[in-house]
Structure 1
Amino acid sequence: METATKTVWNIDPTHSEIQFKVKHLVISTVTGHFRQFEGTVETDGEDFSTAEIAFSADTVSVDTNQEQRDQHLRTAEFFDVEKFPKMTFVSTNVKKVGDDDYIITGDLTIKDTTKSVELKAEHGGYMTDFYGNYKAGFEVTGKINRKDFGLVWGGVTEAGGIVVSDDVKLEFNIQVAKA
């Protein structure tokens, strides 16, 4: 039986973005990014259902377009960037569902807590860029409860409203380039 060649794909940070969305005061959504991140995907040939994914983001690079909030997110009440400079994801299973969709299960570590999470990925296809790099694109979505990862800060308004929701939506637009 022939074994497929392992293919390594590197996340292209120039053409990728790592976003999260959280409700603020339950009436509006705040969008944030991690500006510094890296990751690799190893596949058998070009079969992404065999993918082994490793990803990390620098927690200090959190950016919500509001410096005071970003500074608060870097403290021990949230990411504690001094003690935990990286958050990581390592896949444990990838399952193809339909023509272009995948369910990715893996271990997400934020601070000192690791939990299994499930992400949905839609494969956008393959393309060779202007420089001859062969790439694949994905839109990845998921949802986590921030308190499951020790991000437990909570504020309540004078009227009893919650300042930050527990649920955090994850939205990643990823291009990977064949190494």
Structure 2
Amino acid sequence: MKKHLLVTALTASLFLGNAAQAADYIVDTDGAHASIQFRVSHLGYSYVAGRFNDFKGDFSFDANKVADAKVNMVINTTSIDSNHAERDKHLRSADFLNTAKFPQATFTSTSVEDKGNGDFILNGNFTLNGVTKPLAISATTVGEGQDPWGGYRVGFTGTTEFALKDYDIKMDLGPASSHVKLDLVVEGIKQ
């Protein structure tokens, strides 16, 4: 009987230990350990690059069950910063992001494809300029562990690309400028 109880206790402990590994994280924007940068070809001659300075998000992640991860992000599109005030004003206009009407963009994950070795595809619904479309992000786990302040962190990088016209952005600067590329860095603090 004692042996049966010990086996049951060990089995329950292992099961509960595995279930407890999934954790909720807040994206560390306060410490500036996350970034959303964009790049668009300028007429095929060079690139306009910039970033969004104001965003927030949270996610659930377990390195042993990557396919169960969940992500939610909110981007303040008025915070667009291409290091040029007049261009940023134009990017906020109805020609591009229409921030007066749609001041936020959102991403909500729908599924994760674990590719192994820390690589995965994060699928979700991306809403920009009032339009919601599926978007896939190629992502890589950078690392995770204890931080010097007693917390626990995990970090990722990601890239994606989408056509501006898919999000009802009317400005047409030619075929070389039809897509935007996003480079993402996300570091989360375990809650």
- Matched residue pairs, number? 173
Partner of 2:104: 86
Partners of 1:48 and 1:19 in 2: CA distance = 24
| Structure 1 position 163, deviation (Å) | 8.8
Aligned residue number for residue 159 of structure 1: none
Q: Which residue does the alignment assign to 1:167?
A: 179
Runs of 4+ off more than 6 Å? none
**Using the alignment, how far apart are the partners of 2:48 and 2:63 within structure 1?**
39
Number of the residue aligned with 1:58:
76
Q: What's the offset of the Cα at 1:45?
A: 7.8
Q: Who wins on radius of gyration, i.e. which is larger?
A: 2
1:77 is the counterpart of 2:92:
no
CA separation of 1:33/1:164 partners in 2, compared to 1, >3 Å: closer, same or farther?
A: farther
Matched, 1:7 2:23: yes
Query: Is the CA contact (8 Å cut-off) linking 1:118 and 1:142 kept in structure 2?
Result: yes
**More helix, by proportion:** 2
TM-superposed deviation, 1:110: 0.3
TM-score, normalised relative to structure 2: 0.84
Identify, as 1 or 2, the structure richer in strand.
Answer: 1
Q: Secondary structure at the match of 2:166?
A: helix
Q: So what's the TM-score if we normalise by structure 1?
A: 0.90
Give CA deviations for 1:7-58 in whole Å, capped at 9, x if unaligned: 2111011101101110002110111100000001023586433111100100
Mapping of residues 1-150 of structure 1, within 5 Å: 2=15, 4-5=19-20, 6-13=22-29, 14-43=32-61, 47-150=65-168
Instruction: Give the 3-state SS of the residue equivalent to 1:48 in structure 2.
Output: helix
Q: Secondary structure in 1 aligned to 2:140? A: strand
Q: Secondary structure at the match of 1:15?
A: coil
Which residue identity does 1:92 align to in structure 2? T
Check whether the contact 1:7–1:46 (CA below 8 A) recurs between aligned residues: no
Q: What CA RMSD, in Å, does the superposition of the two structures yield over aligned residues?
A: 1.8
Q: Whole-Å Cα distance in 2 between the matches of residues 71 and 129 of structure 1? A: 39
Matches of 1:49 and 1:142, distance apart in 2: 19
Larger RCO of the pair (alpha carbons < 8 Å, separation 6+):
1
Q: 1:25 and 1:101 mapped to 2: Cα distance?
A: 33
Structure 1 pair 164–62 and aligned structure 2 pair: CA distance change class (3 A)? farther
Question: Distance between the aligned counterparts of 1:137 and 1:45, measured in 2?
Answer: 11
Shift of 1:141: 0.5
